[in-house]
């Protein structure tokens, strides 16, 4: 299946998971289009000052892959900076959050895989 960029569905979530500002989620493929056990395949955009608040992943895991900008992540209580090419894996009940504390747009790929 080929998905052209003009066919992608984008949504805006305000204060996602208790975070700040707007989060733009561009769905690459929806869950019902995938035969595997995944519920999200998306590009996420956070403008400066925006964030996704802390949340757990139980019976699933989430991968963040940084495409552009600098992310500040809370990985189960450990704070780190991630740059393009860096990745984060969270699952099995662990908690994470992500924020854009820089002056540039943050873009990342997010994939949630179900157990």
Query: 3-state DSSP call for residue 79?
Result: strand
- The confidence score (pLDDT) of residue 6 equals 96
Phi and psi dihedrals of 5, rounded to 5? -60, -30
CB 35 within 8 A of CB 58: no
- Structure tokens belonging to residue 7: 């066919």
CA–CA dist 82, 1 (Å, integer): 31
Backbone conformation region of residue 35, classed left if phi is above 0, alpha if psi is from -120 to 50, else beta: alpha
CA–CA dist 29, 47 (Å, integer): 23
Q: What Cα–Cα distance (Å) separates residue 74 from each residue in 7, 9, 33, 88?
A: 33, 28, 31, 10
- The confidence score (pLDDT) of residue 9 equals 95
- The confidence score (pLDDT) of residue 106 equals 98
> 5-114 in CATH: which number?
2.60.120.10
- The confidence score (pLDDT) of residue 50 equals 98
- Structure tokens belonging to residue 27: 């769905």
As averages over each run of 10 residues, the pLDDT of the chain (115 residues) reads 96 98 97 95 98 97 98 97 98 97 98 96
At CA 33, angle to CA 96 and CA 22, rounded to 5? 40
pTM of the model: 0.95
Spans of all domains in the chain: 5-114
């Amino acid at each position: 299946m080929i998905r052209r960029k003009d066919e992608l569905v984008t949504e805006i979530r305000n204060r996602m998971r208790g975070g700040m500002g707007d989060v733009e989620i561009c769905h690459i493929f929806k869950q019902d289009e995938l035969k595997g056990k995944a519920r999200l395949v998306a590009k996420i955009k956070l403008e400066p000052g925006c964030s996704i608040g802390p949340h757990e992943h139980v019976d699933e895991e989430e991968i963040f892959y940084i495409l552009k900008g600098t992310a500040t992540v809370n990985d189960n209580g450990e704070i780190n900076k991630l740059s393009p090419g860096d990745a984060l894996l969270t699952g099995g009940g662990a908690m994470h959050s992500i924020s854009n504390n820089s002056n540039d747009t943050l873009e990342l790929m997010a994939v949630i895989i179900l157990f």
